[in-house]
């Protein structure tokens, strides 16, 4: 005789499904990026990030051997995102080279406005904490800057080839100059909660190129 009994239906929240390993690591990276683009690395306790991500500390150490290793992984992830953004704007062959730079800076302004100027550049933020970072961490930050500079340098070289800027412009030095000043403009924008520092810096940089 077949039983008509049925298992009782559970009410409330569905049973928890363990996250896949890749999902948990991605969640930790995403939460860290969201947190550290707004707050300092040294001042942010690991427990704060883990609570926000709802990940136990034991799981964290399964993926990262230390907070510093986690921080470097965050720089890697941010760098991947940022280089994709630079490629999108600075390698846009349909747009004149100097306009590409303006388009990039305008995109950055919109991004900061979206988060009410609370978030900035992760690499720039970490650059303010060098006294608390290891040599390996500092080297990793410098690698990011060098890569960003090369992307801008290629764009400036195209501007020279098209006759937009003079051939005697030192593309390498000007690209380094851009990022030194840009990071300062981002920090000032966070302080003033306006886009004025970013707009002003972009304008003065382009004037320097053209004169």
pLDDT at residue 64 is higher than 70: yes
Are 153 and 146 in contact, with CB atoms under 8 Å apart?
Answer: no
Q: pLDDT confidence of 115, banded at 50, 70, 90?
A: very high
Contacts of the segment 77-86: beta carbons below 8 A, 24+ positions apart? 77/29, 77/33, 78/33, 78/37, 78/122, 78/123, 78/144, 79/123, 79/144, 79/147, 82/123, 82/144, 82/148, 83/147, 83/148, 83/151, 86/148, 86/151, 86/152
Domain contains 35: no
Tell me what pLDDT residue 185 has: 97
**How many distinct structural domains can be found in the chain?**
1
pLDDT at residue 148 is higher than 70: yes
Share of the chain above pLDDT 90, in %: 80
CATH number of the CATH domain containing 190? 1.10.357.10
Tell me what pLDDT residue 22 has: 66
As a whole number of angstroms, the distance between CA 198 and CA 188 comes to 8
Tell me what pLDDT residue 42 has: 83
pLDDT at residue 106 is higher than 80: yes
Domain contains 30: no
pLDDT at residue 2 is higher than 60: no
User: Considering only CA atoms, which of 30, 185, 194 is closest in space to residue 113?
Assistant: 194
Domain contains 33: no
Mean pLDDT value across residues 95-108: 98
pLDDT at residue 15 is higher than 60: no
Q: pLDDT confidence of 181, banded at 50, 70, 90?
A: very high
pLDDT at residue 96 is higher than 50: yes
Q: pLDDT confidence of 161, banded at 50, 70, 90?
A: very high
Domain contains 53: no
Mean pLDDT value across residues 32-38: 91
Domain contains 49: no
Domain contains 16: no
Domain contains 82: yes
Domain contains 5: no
Mean pLDDT value across residues 66-88: 96
Q: Which residue range forms the structural domain that includes residue 94?
A: 66-210
């Amino acid at each position: 005789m077949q039983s008509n009994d049925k298992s009782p239906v559970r009410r409330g929240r569905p049973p928890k499904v363990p996250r896949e390993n890749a999902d948990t690591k991605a969640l930790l990276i995403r939460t860290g990026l969201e947190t550290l683009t707004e707050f300092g690395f040294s001042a942010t306790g690991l427990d704060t990030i883990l609570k926000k991500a709802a990940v136990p500390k034991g799981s964290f150490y399964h993926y990262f051997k230390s907070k510093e290793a986690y921080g470097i992984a965050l720089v890697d992830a941010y760098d991947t995102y940022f280089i994709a953004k630079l490629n999108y704007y600075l390698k846009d062959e349909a747009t004149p080279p100097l306009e590409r730079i303006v388009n990039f800076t305008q995109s950055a302004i919109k991004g900061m406005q979206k988060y009410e100027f609370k978030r900035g550049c992760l690499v720039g933020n970490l650059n303010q904490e060098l006294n608390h970072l290891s040599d390996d961490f500092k080297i990793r930050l410098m690698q990011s800057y060098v890569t960003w500079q090369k992307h801008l340098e290629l764009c400036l070289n195209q501007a020279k080839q098209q006759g937009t800027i003079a051939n005697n412009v030192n593309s390498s030095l000007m690209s380094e100059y851009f990022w030194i000043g840009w990071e300062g403009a981002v920090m000032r924008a966070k302080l003033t909660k306006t886009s004025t520092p970013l707009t002003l810096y972009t304008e003065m940089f382009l004037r320097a190129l053209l004169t």
